[in-house]
Structure 1
Amino acid sequence: MFNFTSLLGAQSNSTASQSILELDGGVKILVDCGWDETFDAERLSELEKHIPTLSIILLTHATTAHLGAFAHCCKHFPLFTRIPVYATNPVIALGKTLLQDIYASTPLARATIPQAALSESPYAVSSTGDSTNTKILLQPPTVDEITGYFSLVHPLKYSQPHEPTPSPFSPPLNGLTIAAYSAGHSLGGTIWHIQHGLESIVYAVDWNQAREHVLSGAAWLGPAGAGGAEVIDSLRRPTALVCSSRGAERIILPGGIKKRDEVLLGHIKETVKNGGTVLIPSDSTARILELSFLLESSWPEIRDASEGQKLKVWLASRSCGATMRQARSMLEWMEEGIVRDFEAFSSHPSNTTKQKGHQRTSSKQDSAAAENVQSAPFDFKRLKIVESASRFGRALSQEGPKVILASDVSLEWGFSHAAVRQLAADPKNLIILTEYTSLSKDDEPTLQQYLWSLYEKQAGTADDNATVVISGNGASAKCTSISTEPLSQAETPLYQSYLARQRQMQNTLQTGQASNLETSADIIDDRSSASSSTSEDSDDEQQGKILNVSAVMSQSRHKLGLSDAELGINILLRRKGMHDWEVRGKKGREKMFPFTGKRKKNDEFGDLIRPEEYLRAEERDDVDGEDMRNGAESTKKDNAVGEKRKWGDMAVQSTNGVQARRMSNGVNKRRRTAEDGGSVSAEGDEDSELSSEDEGEPQMQEPEGPRKLVVKEESLQLNLRIAFVDFSGLHDKRSLQMLIPLIRPRKLILVGGDEAETQALATDCRKLLAVGGVDAADSQNEEKGADVFTPVTGETVDASVDTNAWIVKLSDPLVRILKWQNVRGLGVVALTGLLELPTASSESTEADAQETPKAKKLKAIKGEQQDMPQIDVPVDGQQVSGPPILDILPSNMAAATRTATAPLHVGDLRLADLRKLMQAAGYTAEFRGEGTLLVGGIVAVRKSGTGRIEVEGAMLGSDTMGNGGPGGSSGVTKTFYEVKKKIYEGLAVVAGS
């Protein structure tokens, strides 16, 4: 069984990607946890419903569209951190820097509390009057928390089959195997192959077959440099292929990657020659690697085009320093040319200190090859890295031509948003859009979408429109300004009520074991009893289970947001002055005075042992509320009894590692030097105008207590020029139409594109995957074309394999006579047996046979055998539930069926492999036509679309010699049987049992 549900991204203008794969036995896999530039928390409501049933999570790309909501889910959704997550090493490392950049760049990433959650509070109307316009922000994850979330992700290598570990609340995975393959598009981008029983699923969203400067192409035809002509075995002929349709109508420039680079550099050189500024918006971890590498390697061309002007090239992102540092440590995941550049840099004699000084004084007639080896890959000497808003503002105000590569591509946040606001008024400036954008019909268009619509109207749809540069002509665009402010006095109770409800939910769901979940009333009882307890057990259990702000709220604040109905019988303990409770019509514990007893957790061996209680102080991350990771002395801060604390201190002190981060920030400020990659210009002069910054993690603002979002719309007059060069790194129409027929999926599911792209690709695939070339006389074996599904967001499609399969039990006498054969790691046997319904006698016999003597002895000691008569046991011969049993045939029936059993040939023989076998045997073998192999010039081997192999040999005269064969009719016969012999050797011959 295989059911597919797209939670986000199917036939939608949103780039976010979330998919649920449901397999047999209740196994659920979440592939990607993406978000879009709106950061709307309500779009994650469907995902939140599936979390308690998820088995594993797979991540494909380190982009906002594929893991933008990962930290949000870990922070605010109970049980999410208990689900095993799998990704490649680059996705883990770059995903961490991506989310750190997002949360440090825009308050939108914190997400606002959904209005539905606020309206449930009794304070929604009484305190605020109208809560529909209230945009209260959630608490964002800190840098340490984001690092901790990604440390939980299990790293995988390419082509490494792995059997994942299920979540604590998941059913058994029953042999589920996952394997990652290169997808291109981003560093560490993944095509997932999922094998579960008869289901072979390939999940390929946002892949790129073309090889670029940094990234190798997708691994459909083998690893980079393999040069294969066929899809590799593990990805060929899957039962279901999930493929993205984004870019299905896009046609690449003639000339490929080289022409694309020439167009981009042409736009840049023309603008800097006129003294203008070029803005190139991009993401902060994926495509920015390709663009930054190109700008660094093309520096001589750009410098010469400036004609002596002081040219600056900036790389602006909150986490670009950490991103480039991570990229330098993962060169083995990149294209082979990058590895060669690194080897050339390591072996170049100019890397010695003495010769480096000599090289600085050399003339400008140095060769381009010498310039290319002056630095290691992604150790930029030309690009100046900017990570702070103040420094970026000073960079924009400098005179002279500039090239700015900034995040984010949406232009809604980040340094690209600030840059376009300042550059829009000057017609000498140019903004180069690097990705296609789908225009939304319902929502207000973003600034990027508005610029794309202007470009599309003026540039048209000609094939050569990549070289077109248009003018804004003073068009007016809406630009949003995002800021935050503290909550008003009337909004604070609304926020506190929401926190109380979230605390209740998380305390309920995040208990130690899924089987020990407590009811809401029990949790209230536990709180009231724990208020007077000083046990460290209860303190340890609360770590990480509640929101950071609510962890330090006082006992009185726990009562906010709980109505009398929600308190129930506990109102006698929690409400002062309450001495009476109406018990008429009540049931169970609601009719008895509340009593709280401390629950002890134990098992058959006694009380549970907590390993964290036996750790030494230096081994623990947190001891008595103090962070010990950088030494106990770094966290000593005396708080006198009754001392007033600010909201920020209250929110921060509940987070592990905050004190250490504060101290490290102070140390970093003193250690800031001119080690930045862009601190020295190409001419060698010091960049003294701007203060350099370290390449450490982005300095995210610490939680400041509850705040709300303030959005202001402004009008932006566009006089700058607009160009487009496709650097999205996605598949185009040609690659989709070429590879999908080679993959030959039985089911095809299209997601990840708008409605027009999805329907157009579905129409093409139905034609391409239609089976042809089958003889009309053999119509009974004709295979129908693949099923193509185009689900919308929220729709579930059944893409199960079309195979008649049943689950049966084999009896012990039958198992002993079977002779298994291995075919590609699978055991295959043909058998004939008698199918019987399970009975009580057969079940008891099988149970006794499987029970070990030790188990029987323990069973007798515990007295379970004496308790057995109390259980309703069916008598012998009575039918019981369970799968049917396949047993050996009686002797009279076995004699009748033995002669009717014919041997079976199992396997899939490739004509390319047969060609190699025949050539090794001394025969000439060559392909003639489609699906025909000619051996020795006299024997033809054909393979139909259904897998049927036909061998034909022509009868020749005795004086005729076959090329490569003995000749004559005897030569034909010998060659014919030699070919059949090789075919049988490539298949498993399974005889009937």
Structure 2
Amino acid sequence: MITFTPLSGAARSARTVPLAYLLQVDDVRILLDCGSPDWCPERVHADEDENEPLPWEKYCDNLKECAIAPTVDLVLLSHGDLSHSGFFPYAHANWGLKAPAYSTLPVQAMARVAASEDVDGIRDEEDVGDQPEEPAEETTGEVAPSSPSPSPEQQAPSPTTTSPAKRRRYVATSHQVVEAFDSVTVLRYSQPCHLQGKCQGLTIIPFNAGRSLGGTIWKIRSPSAGTILYAVDMNHMKERHLDGTVLMKPAGGGVLESLARPDLLITDAERADVTTARRKDRDAALLDCVTATLTSRNSLLLPCDSSTRVLELLVLLDQHWNYSRLKYPICLLSRTGQEMLTFVRSMMEWFGGTISKEDVGDSGNNDGRRDRRRRDEDNDEDALGALALRFKHVEFFMTPQSLLQTYSNKDPKLILAVPATLSHGPSRSLFAEFAEIPDNVVLLTGRCEPGTLGRQLFDKWNDSQREEAKWDRGKIGSNIMMDGVLKLEIHSKVPLEGAELEEFLAKERVAREKEAVHQAALARTQRMLEADEAESESDSDDDNSDDDEDEEVDEVERTLSAEMAVDEDEDTAKLAARTTRRQKRKRDADGGGAGGEWGLNEGDEGVTRISFDIYLKGNVAKATSFFKSADGQTQRFRMFPYVEKKRRVDEYGETVDVAMWLRKGKALEEDAESEETKEARRRKEEEEAKKTVREPPSKFVMRTAEVQLACRLFFVDLEGLNDGRAVKTIIPQVNPRKMIIVHAPESATNELIDSCAKIRAMTKEIYAPNEGETVQIGQHTNSYSLSLSDDLLASIRMSRFEDNEVGYVYGRISNVASSTIPVLEVAAHTQVATTQRQPARGRILGSRPTQALPQSTMIGELKLTSLKARLASVGVQAELVGEGVLVCGAAAKRGQGADLHGDSVAVRKTARGKVEVEGSVSDIYYVVRREIYGLLALVAA
């Protein structure tokens, strides 16, 4: 039984991202991808209702319900971008999504980079609402102080705000991102992973999907549900840094054998109705636009992602810069740009395309020697083995301010800024200033998520094109001149100044004082308890111990006297009582006699004094009756709270204190370290502490900027996805038994369904569920346990098929009193004889009764390529002619001048599960038939 529920990115949906699907195979629930939406969408109208549900709320509620239950047993991540893996850190840290997660190594690394870039960019600009805040009063103006904080981790509540984004957004922290992706188990391509625990019996295998580094097609094998293929966002075309998906063999070789004919295919149809222009034309259009703009002394802004598709752009631009010998800078504006390149340089085995050839010098005889010499001259250790990923022309910048300090607005340059959606971060702040400069170019390479500024700019460009030049018609459009005024909300974080800074420092000072007083009170209470315990133990000691205790009490009194900022009256009373008791003990030690022993000394007439071996806190009154006082009220006495300390023992003796041994082990390790090592570690810690700059108190600011558009806008599709022609060609060759369409708008979904309906061999069981809609595939099967009798087991004729042995069983079930499991026994001969005597009517005199022939079944699927190889091993020539026809014998040797009149046999696959062997009765015929039977398992009754 297979149950499939799209949590987000469903078919027939206007919002096809993010991707997250819940697949249930029997009792195992698998989360396929866990993408995050864009948390900073544009406000369509200025008077937009802030209480209106945001587009991601339903998705977040569904995912939270699945994660908290918890009902997810397995997580599979297919690509390392935000739309596939961005939400996993938050769900892992806050909702308990602790199920085993799997991905390839590049997906794990690239997803960490993308998520870190996203959460840092959002948290540096807006208050994401980690802590519940009281409703704030709105203020007028463009600036809104929010969350003054000395550090991103500790932020004070905001007194006022006008930001529309105060509604809940699920943004993780940098530490949560690292922790979540460290828990992901990485696999290699084509590496089977046999799961254990609740998922026992399932096998997952990753295959190359193309489009992104480490992009994965997941193959899930279940003993009950069969083979499930999850293949989304594929690219069959070879790119500069990646090979195409392995689903399609190169040069029209068909589908990879291990991925063909799955029981269920889950795939996307986002571009089923799109015709993409040729890659050569798209690359040429982008490079021509870049070169023409820079040579005219203008600049380009290219919004990009931070981990996946930016690699293809960098390789393309770097090769163009080397070929054209351009001197203009390529500026990558990203916090994680250098970290991302450090990761990818250590993953050269995952690359393809032209990068691997360039690294090993396969383009010529002397190229490898020249590349090694150039690498030695440059002495670039980080680029060892990654010559094509050095990007000598790329400069890295962390913030827009650092970029503008190096290059002014008048300097021609190409800027790659994150994120691609222009919803927040460096790309948005740069666009506000960049778009006002005439003849500058904003170059888009993707359509982005609906509701973002990047999608609005794409729609503006697409609507300005002629009907035959739109992006989905297979043509390259032209750039357009933008005009008008665009209102943008710019969020930023600025240091506090003036009265706001003084107010914050005053609040911080008061908070520190309260914390100091609280800590002093705790320490004082602890010391008082320790002093009381010491006093109670000292009553049974000798006179010398009393003197020592007096000194300790004096020390405690001096300490307490210096810390009487809180509860002064109570502390004074306690000190006085303690001083009185100390003087009494001195008098008793000097020879108080019997009266001193009981606390009744000479000269103390009229004074009632009670003495105990221990100090009892509180006032203890003397009562004549233990049960009742004179006025009828019960007298209450303070009792010493004695707790007997019991030694913990087990059946072997005293239990082992693990903490004590750990402390001793750590102490021994520290003692074993040399003084040089300790000094080096101490210096390192001091240097790190000095490098950690304490962030000044700051606030979140939102301003509305009116951008006067004067730049040019151009779009070139470099998303690296299959278009409609490829999708309609690949899916029929995969030929699944059942198919589920996801991640597609309504027009593309209908286009793919209509295309598959025209193919007679394609399955008719195609599902396109909406978001939250559950699709059930297959029916519940009941399994029973049977025990085979010895007689039946001896009568079975087994046939070997691959790694299994198969046999035909015919019998009857009987119950045995000594066992709860039914036994399958050999059928009685009387029943068979009765069955054979039934057709007695119409018998011819002297004829024998008819008998049913034994039934036989062929198990397996005949592959003509396997049959050809098997015939060649026995000396029979065979050639494939046409589609689904294998000619064997003399007819296969015509090209070699052999006898044309010899015996020949044709093997033809006419339909699914049907094979025809056509030819004259000859030795070749019997040899071919024998080899066909050898490739299949014959099971006879």
TM score, norm. by length of structure 2: 0.67
Separation in 1, partners of 2:934, 2:166: 70
Separation in 1, partners of 2:409, 2:161: 47
Judged with a 3 Å threshold, the aligned counterparts in structure 2 of structure 1 residues 940 and 354 are, in CA distance, closer, same or farther, namely closer
- SS of match in other structure, 1:16: coil
Partner residue of 1:337 out of 354, 363, 377: 354
CA deviation after TM superposition for structure 1 residue 302, in Å: 4.7
Judged with a 3 Å threshold, the aligned counterparts in structure 2 of structure 1 residues 132 and 476 are, in CA distance, closer, same or farther, namely closer
Q: Which residue of 1 aligns with 2:914?
A: 948
CA deviation after TM superposition for structure 1 residue 320, in Å: 0.7
1:94 aligned onto 2:110: yes
CA deviation after TM superposition for structure 1 residue 480, in Å: 2.6
CA deviation after TM superposition for structure 1 residue 55, in Å: 0.8
Contact 1:271 1:278 in 2 (8 A): yes
CA deviation after TM superposition for structure 1 residue 139, in Å: 9.1
CA deviation after TM superposition for structure 1 residue 412, in Å: 0.9
Separation in 1, partners of 2:390, 2:468: 39
1:733 aligned onto 2:724: yes
CA deviation after TM superposition for structure 1 residue 76, in Å: 1.5
Judged with a 3 Å threshold, the aligned counterparts in structure 2 of structure 1 residues 134 and 286 are, in CA distance, closer, same or farther, namely closer
Q: Which residue of 2 aligns with 1:765?
A: 756
Which amino acid in 1 is paired with 2:377? K
Q: Which residue of 2 aligns with 1:149?
A: 180
Judged with a 3 Å threshold, the aligned counterparts in structure 2 of structure 1 residues 356 and 477 are, in CA distance, closer, same or farther, namely same
Contact 1:749 1:790 in 2 (8 A): yes
Where in structure 1 are there 5+ consecutive unaligned residues?
120-126, 167-171, 305-309, 361-371, 493-531, 533-600, 624-629, 638-658, 670-700, 772-783, 847-884, 954-968
Q: Which residue of 1 aligns with 2:594?
A: none
Judged with a 3 Å threshold, the aligned counterparts in structure 2 of structure 1 residues 211 and 613 are, in CA distance, closer, same or farther, namely farther
Judged with a 3 Å threshold, the aligned counterparts in structure 2 of structure 1 residues 979 and 34 are, in CA distance, closer, same or farther, namely same
Separation in 1, partners of 2:280, 2:830: 72
Which amino acid in 1 is paired with 2:789? P
Separation in 1, partners of 2:162, 2:440: 43
CA deviation after TM superposition for structure 1 residue 187, in Å: 0.3
Q: Which residue of 2 aligns with 1:842?
A: 819
Partner residue of 1:792 out of 766, 770, 775: 770
Partner residue of 1:436 out of 442, 447, 450: 447
Q: Which residue of 2 aligns with 1:978?
A: 927
Judged with a 3 Å threshold, the aligned counterparts in structure 2 of structure 1 residues 602 and 264 are, in CA distance, closer, same or farther, namely farther
Q: Which residue of 2 aligns with 1:2?
A: 2
1:316 aligned onto 2:309: no
CA deviation after TM superposition for structure 1 residue 981, in Å: 1.4
CA deviation after TM superposition for structure 1 residue 14, in Å: 4.1
Partner residue of 1:22 out of 16, 21, 24: 24
CA deviation after TM superposition for structure 1 residue 400, in Å: 2.6
Which amino acid in 1 is paired with 2:110? L
Contact 2:879 2:887 in 1 (8 A): yes
Separation in 2, partners of 1:248, 1:382: 38
Judged with a 3 Å threshold, the aligned counterparts in structure 2 of structure 1 residues 741 and 187 are, in CA distance, closer, same or farther, namely same
Contact 2:120 2:174 in 1 (8 A): no
Contact 1:110 1:139 in 2 (8 A): no
CA deviation after TM superposition for structure 1 residue 668, in Å: 8.7
CA deviation after TM superposition for structure 1 residue 8, in Å: 0.5
Q: Which residue of 1 aligns with 2:884?
A: 931
Deviations 1:185-239, CA, capped at 9 Å, x for gaps: 10000000001123210000111110101011111135xxx65713223211111
Q: Which residue of 2 aligns with 1:537?
A: none
CA deviation after TM superposition for structure 1 residue 322, in Å: 0.6
Q: Which residue of 2 aligns with 1:276?
A: 298
Separation in 2, partners of 1:65, 1:141: 15
TM score, norm. by length of structure 1: 0.64
Separation in 1, partners of 2:939, 2:468: 59
Which amino acid in 2 is paired with 1:241? L
1:888 aligned onto 2:825: yes
Which amino acid in 2 is paired with 1:147? V
Separation in 2, partners of 1:976, 1:610: 81
Judged with a 3 Å threshold, the aligned counterparts in structure 2 of structure 1 residues 608 and 377 are, in CA distance, closer, same or farther, namely farther
Where in structure 2 are there 5+ consecutive unaligned residues?
41-53, 136-157, 505-528, 530-647, 671-675, 836-850, 892-903
CA deviation after TM superposition for structure 1 residue 108, in Å: 8.7
CA deviation after TM superposition for structure 1 residue 57, in Å: 0.5
Q: Which residue of 2 aligns with 1:913?
A: 866
Q: Which residue of 2 aligns with 1:385?
A: 396
Q: Which residue of 2 aligns with 1:902?
A: 855
Contact 1:28 1:53 in 2 (8 A): yes
Q: Which residue of 1 aligns with 2:257?
A: 233
1:356 aligned onto 2:356: no
Q: Which residue of 1 aligns with 2:785?
A: 809
Q: Which residue of 1 aligns with 2:708?
A: 717
- SS of match in other structure, 1:285: coil
Separation in 2, partners of 1:738, 1:805: 35
Deviations 1:812-858, CA, capped at 9 Å, x for gaps: 53695466555444553322232457x87423xx6xxxxxxxxxxxx
Q: Which residue of 1 aligns with 2:511?
A: none
Contact 2:334 2:417 in 1 (8 A): yes
Deviations 1:888-932, CA, capped at 9 Å, x for gaps: 224436866997542321111112222333345444433444323
CA deviation after TM superposition for structure 1 residue 97, in Å: 1.3
- Of the structure 1 ranges 934-943 and 43-52, higher mean CA displacement relative to structure 2 is found in 934-943
Which amino acid in 1 is paired with 2:829? N
Separation in 2, partners of 1:724, 1:53: 43
Alignment of 1:654-669 (within 5 A): 664=688, 666-667=690-691
- SS of match in other structure, 2:207: strand
1:831 aligned onto 2:809: yes
Contact 2:254 2:733 in 1 (8 A): yes
CA deviation after TM superposition for structure 1 residue 141, in Å: 4.5
Q: Which residue of 2 aligns with 1:251?
A: 275
Contact 2:119 2:174 in 1 (8 A): no
1:448 aligned onto 2:443: no
Judged with a 3 Å threshold, the aligned counterparts in structure 2 of structure 1 residues 887 and 939 are, in CA distance, closer, same or farther, namely same
Contact 1:71 1:146 in 2 (8 A): yes
Contact 1:142 1:702 in 2 (8 A): no
Q: Percent identity?
A: 29
Separation in 2, partners of 1:181, 1:702: 45
Q: Which residue of 1 aligns with 2:192?
A: 161
- SS of match in other structure, 1:15: coil
Judged with a 3 Å threshold, the aligned counterparts in structure 2 of structure 1 residues 75 and 270 are, in CA distance, closer, same or farther, namely same
Separation in 2, partners of 1:454, 1:603: 77
CA deviation after TM superposition for structure 1 residue 476, in Å: 3.0
Contact 2:126 2:700 in 1 (8 A): no
CA deviation after TM superposition for structure 1 residue 396, in Å: 5.2
Deviations 1:714-749, CA, capped at 9 Å, x for gaps: 433322111111110111111111110110011111
Contact 1:111 1:137 in 2 (8 A): no
Partner residue of 1:989 out of 913, 922, 938: 938
Separation in 2, partners of 1:766, 1:605: 75
- SS of match in other structure, 1:201: strand
Separation in 2, partners of 1:761, 1:813: 53
Contact 2:907 2:918 in 1 (8 A): yes
Contact 1:284 1:407 in 2 (8 A): yes
Which amino acid in 1 is paired with 2:440? N
Judged with a 3 Å threshold, the aligned counterparts in structure 2 of structure 1 residues 713 and 417 are, in CA distance, closer, same or farther, namely same
Separation in 1, partners of 2:649, 2:415: 62
Contact 2:220 2:227 in 1 (8 A): yes
Which amino acid in 1 is paired with 2:868? R
Contact 1:107 1:482 in 2 (8 A): no
Q: Whose radius of gyration is greater, 1 or 2?
A: 2
Q: CA-atom RMSD, angstroms? A: 4.6
- SS of match in other structure, 1:178: strand
Separation in 2, partners of 1:342, 1:459: 41
Q: Which residue of 2 aligns with 1:749?
A: 740
Q: Which residue of 2 aligns with 1:470?
A: 479
Separation in 1, partners of 2:786, 2:742: 42
Which amino acid in 1 is paired with 2:906? A
CA deviation after TM superposition for structure 1 residue 285, in Å: 0.5
Separation in 2, partners of 1:353, 1:327: 21
1:49 aligned onto 2:70: no
Judged with a 3 Å threshold, the aligned counterparts in structure 2 of structure 1 residues 279 and 332 are, in CA distance, closer, same or farther, namely same
